[in-house]
Amino acid sequence: MVIKYVISYGGPGSGKGTQCANIVQHFGYTHLSAGDLLRAEIKSGSENGTMIQNMIKEGKIVPSEVTIKLLQRAMQEDGNDKFLIDGFPRNEENRAAFEKVTGMEPAFVLFFDCPEEEMEKRLLSRNQGREDDNIETIRKRFKVFLESSLPVINHYDAKGKVRKIDAARPIEEVFESVKAIFGPKNEKS
Ligand SMILES: Nc1ncnc2c1ncn2[C@@H]1O[C@H](COP(=O)(O)OP(=O)(O)OP(=O)(O)O)[C@@H](O)[C@H]1O
Ligand SMILES: Nc1ccn([C@H]2C[C@H](O)[C@@H](COP(=O)(O)O)O2)c(=O)n1
Ligand SMILES: [Mg+2]
């Protein structure tokens, strides 16, 4: 089976997860959020749980080998051939390690571009009980995004793979732009 994946990218609170839920409904992809997989690993009581929890609280990036194993396991267990990988790779090391281990590159990268003030407002009113949705950790996450995650976008941009979307608009308008990128022929019948 030939596996295809698309990356959903953007700063914390840019709306990646929200748009991924719509994409799953419309286009039949399996959504894999690296953050959700890491949070599930904490809850499962695994030996890495405490380390992951501490790193997330500090807004830091968990070592590649941990996140890649979780993504690979989720892909194998799912059996779909189309994946929407959300919030990964978070830095160049994540990216290089994933491509080396899997031998795969994304079909394209959706980049939800949103100003920090808007992302901060969204995160502070998200109310999902996330330990990292407090102003101190949010500021650290923004810094990590600028310093470590934007270079990943530059890498894929140089390969012509980035599809930039203005994510500061209402959810439905953002999704119209997403649909235009996937195209009508990829819609579920
Ligand atoms: N276009 C939008 N306009 C207003 N609010 C939005 C929009 N998109 C998402 N939201 C809201 O903003 C919050 C953050 O959205 P979401 O969880 O999708 O972001 P994310 O990019 O996945 O964030 P994180 O990186 O922290 O996981 C949620 O409460 C969501 O309902
Ligand atoms: N590739 C990744 C993805 C996420 N994390 C950690 C660090 C993030 O702040 C946290 C939450 O992720 P989100 O749900 O906001 O996408 O999870 C990581 O270390 N590596
Ligand atoms: Mg998310």
The domain locations on the chain are 4-183
77-114 burial code (b ≥16 CB/10 A, e <16): eeeeebbbbbbbbbbeebbebbeeeeeeebebbbbbeb
Q: Which residues are annotated as a binding site for CMP?
A: 94
Cis peptide before 170 (omega within 30 of 0): no
Q: Is the pLDDT of residue 113 over 90?
A: yes
- Nearest residue to 52 via CA among 69, 32, 68, 35: 35
CATH dotted code for 4-183 = 3.40.50.300
* Confidence bin at 189 (pLDDT 50/70/90): confident
* SS3 at position 81: coil
* 100 CA from centroid of ligand 1 (Å): 31
Ligand 1 atom having least distance to the Cα of 173: 1
**Protein residues within 5 Å, CB atom, of ion ligand 3:** 17
Task: Indicate whether this complex's ipTM tops 0.90.
Answer: yes
The rounded Cα 151 to chain-centroid distance in angstroms is: 15
**Per-residue confidence (pLDDT) for residue 185, from 0 to 100:** 85
Mean pLDDT of the chain: 97
* 101 CA from centroid of ligand 1 (Å): 30
Around ligand 1, the residues with Cβ closer than 6 Å are: 10, 12-18, 35, 87, 122, 126, 170-171, 174
| pTM exceeds 0.90 | yes
The residue-averaged pLDDT of 44-72 equals 97
**Per-residue confidence (pLDDT) for residue 165, from 0 to 100:** 98
